[in-house]
Amino acid sequence: MPFDGLVINSLASELKEALLNKKIEKIYQPEADEIIIKFRNASNTNKLFISVNSSFPHVSLSNIQKNNPLHPPMFCMLMRKHLQGSKIVDVYQVELERILVLSIESYDELGNISIKKLIIEIMGKHSNIIFIEDDTNVIIDSIKRIPSSISRQRQILPGLKYEYPPSQNKINIFKANYNTFIDKLKNVENDTKIFKALYKSFQGISPVIAKEICFRASIDIDKPISTLTDENFQSIWKVFIDLLSKLIKKEFSPNIILDSKEKKNIDFSSLKLKMYENQFFSYVFFDTMSDCINKYYFDKDKYNRIKQKSTDIVKIINTRLERLYNKLQKQKEELLTAEGADKYKLYGELILTNMHKITKGIDTITVQNYYEDHMPSITIPLDSRLTPSENSQRYYKKYNKYKTAQEKITNQIKETKEEIQYLQNVLANIENTDDINNINEIKQELIEQNYIRKRSTIKKTEKASISKPHKYLTDEGFTILAGKNNKQNDYLTLKMSSKKDIWLHTKDIPGSHVIIKTEGRDVPEKTIKIAALIAAYHSKGRNSSNVPIDYTYVKFVKKPSGAKPGMVIYDNFKTIYVTPYEDEIKKLEAQSH
């Protein structure tokens, strides 16, 4: 639902209050589809951030810091020429459309006052920033030029007259009364679902808000419009009036809706959406719409940058893991064959014992097996070309060959399993990270382990940026540290910790090393449980219940020679079972900073 007409309505009020009569100090264009306008009024400084990115268009007051190109784009230069030093005289929304307008009082070269308008259209892939003359509506320029080759219906080019996008025959809800409201709904096609009829008939109503109206009116969103009763229409109208009242009174409640389990942003709204009031969702409320928007898109941008940065790494790891799984299966099959070595030793010994019964030229012999109770008969295949002694030696050689292979394959299986465990740990680190620097460190680790080919183009800044472990402080005064990647796990356990510190790790589950810094003190059970929760949270078991956590003193943790980063062995441990909850971890993080 991001940036429907109701969000724009809330934002327009906020921007007008914050920016009215403010002067434009600087204009920047950090990206092809982004503008930052810096305002100054006495000691108060604000920035208006406008993005018309086709995937995530949004507008907000922000303190965002971005690198700007050495040579500003032409649109930025034009804006600076006309608007730098100018004053905001109005901010408004066009009806309830997703269009914001900044009216700006500027001076021409002769010192005459003129009004320019910056029109911000937030319409998905069609989003745009258009700069026009107020008196003539002539387009001065736009951040995205739209010639007839792109759109035959609506061109956006310098010199053309600006026209608002077609209204799609929707009614402005501020101008609706009960009769126009009902007539509009009843005139849609009979089989149209009610929620669809709502958002296709009225300005400012997005699909999500339409579903919310249905929810509050206790009407199934998929109910065809033709099946609605007069009572249904009255219920919808009542909810509609309540919605209008909140807009008129500016009773906004900017909030982000979270998935309660995954703790991921689902949506944001200028109003509290009651349809999310259940155990599956939760809300985070904000003082302003801008704060809400900034948090939502900051998290989304961070998630996308981490995903973009890690996609190739994850692909390389998964390809390698698939090969390792196949390799392990073949090794297990070879081991099963090699484990039959004792059979060949038995054949060799029984042939020696029964040499007097064997003549050259026969291909089998049946003898008694003296090594088992009741001495059952056993048939031994023979090579008819060999003597009894040579047949016996042949089986002894086969036994020795498979026995040697058994030891070799057992070691190979151990190495394959360790590599699988290592790479699963790397995947868990990537999956749990919210730090772009950690992705850079993981990439560097994989380069050093020869999983990724080293390129001369790797940025030095990526190499130099070293993240710190997660740090938590308990009420009892203990510091708990958790590694973010395998190299950091090694450093944390083997370098930063003393022998009497307590080490924790998920049992047989990929995850971070966790250390309780004891400083020689006895550690209460409460602290151990908190550290166990942290270990479970920073592991593949983050969303599981009753996660087993092993813990022991650091002195009982060893790194085998030649082991990959993060791989250790340990003994003298105890196990505790915990269920991690993100709320508890976030609370710990908050009190630790």
pLDDT of residue 1: 53
486 and 396 together in one domain: no
Residue 97 falls within a domain, yes or no? yes
Map residue 268 onto helix, strand or coil: strand
3-state DSSP: the chain helix, strand, coil percent, rounded to 5?
Answer: 40, 20, 35
Centre a 10 Å sphere on the Cβ of residue 495 and count the other Cβ atoms it contains: 7
Q: Taking a C-beta distance cutoff of 8 angstroms, is the pair 300, 56 a contact?
A: yes
CA-based nearest residue to 123, from 184, 167, 70, 58: 58
Q: How far apart are CA 528 and CA 501, in angstroms?
A: 11
Map residue 241 onto helix, strand or coil: helix
Give the relative orientation of helices 388-432 and 436-448 as an angle to the nearest 10 degrees: 160
134 and 191 together in one domain: no
Provide the domain count of the chain. 4
Torsion, Cα of 58, 61, 65, 69 (10° steps): 60
Instruction: Give the pLDDT of the chain (593 residues) as one tens digit per residue.
Output: 568 999 999 999 999 999 999 999 999 999 999 999 999 864 455 899 999 999 889 999 998 888 898 899 999 999 999 999 999 999 999 999 999 999 999 987 777 899 999 999 999 999 999 999 999 999 999 999 999 999 988 999 999 999 999 878 899 888 889 999 999 998 888 889 999 999 999 998 999 999 999 999 999 999 999 999 999 999 999 999 999 999 999 999 999 999 887 778 999 999 999 999 998 999 999 999 999 999 999 888 888 888 888 999 999 999 999 999 999 999 999 898 887 788 888 888 888 989 888 888 899 999 999 888 888 999 999 999 999 999 999 999 988 888 888 889 999 999 999 999 999 999 999 998 888 889 999 999 999 999 998 775 444 444 444 578 999 999 999 999 999 999 999 999 999 999 999 999 999 999 999 999 999 999 999 999 999 999 999 999 998 999 999 999 999 999 999 999 999 999 999 999 999 988 888 888 888 76
345 and 399 together in one domain: yes
Q: How far apart are CA 195 and CA 136, in angstroms?
A: 39
Residue 571 falls within a domain, yes or no? yes
137 and 17 together in one domain: yes
562 and 519 together in one domain: yes
CA atoms within 13 A on the CB side of 166: 5
270 and 194 together in one domain: yes
Q: Taking a C-beta distance cutoff of 8 angstroms, is the pair 420, 413 a contact?
A: no
pLDDT of residue 466: 59
Give the relative orientation of helices 388-432 and 341-353 as an angle to the nearest 10 degrees: 170
Would you list the DSSP string of 77-142? HHHHHHHTT-EEEEEEESTTSSEEEEEEEEE-TTS-EEEEEEEEE--GGG-EEEEEETTT-BEEEE
386 and 510 together in one domain: no
- What size, in residues, is the chain? 593
85 and 186 together in one domain: no
502 and 557 together in one domain: yes
15 and 121 together in one domain: yes
Cite the DSSP H helix spans in 374-519: 388-432, 436-448, 460-464, 486-494
- Which domain-ending residue is among 378, 399, 417? 417
Instruction: Find the CATH number of the domain harbouring 115.
Output: 2.30.310.10
Centre a 10 Å sphere on the Cβ of residue 335 and count the other Cβ atoms it contains: 16
Instruction: Find the CATH number of the domain harbouring 278.
Output: 1.10.8.50
99 and 12 together in one domain: yes
Residue 562 falls within a domain, yes or no? yes
Residue 409 falls within a domain, yes or no? yes
Q: Taking a C-beta distance cutoff of 8 angstroms, is the pair 509, 540 a contact?
A: yes
Residue 286 falls within a domain, yes or no? yes
473 and 569 together in one domain: yes
Burial class of residue 382 (count of CB atoms within 10 Å of its CB; 0-12, 13-18, 19+): buried
The amino acid occupying position 34 is E
**pTM as predicted:** 0.72
pLDDT of residue 467: 72
The amino acid occupying position 332 is K
pLDDT of residue 506: 97
Residue 60 falls within a domain, yes or no? yes
Residue 149 falls within a domain, yes or no? no
Residue 394 falls within a domain, yes or no? yes
CA-based nearest residue to 523, from 545, 504, 549: 504
- Which domain-ending residue is among 100, 123, 142? 142
Residue 54's domain spans which residues? 5-142
- Which domain-ending residue is among 142, 165, 196? 142
CA-based nearest residue to 531, from 463, 449, 469: 469
Torsion, Cα of 64, 70, 74, 80 (10° steps): 60
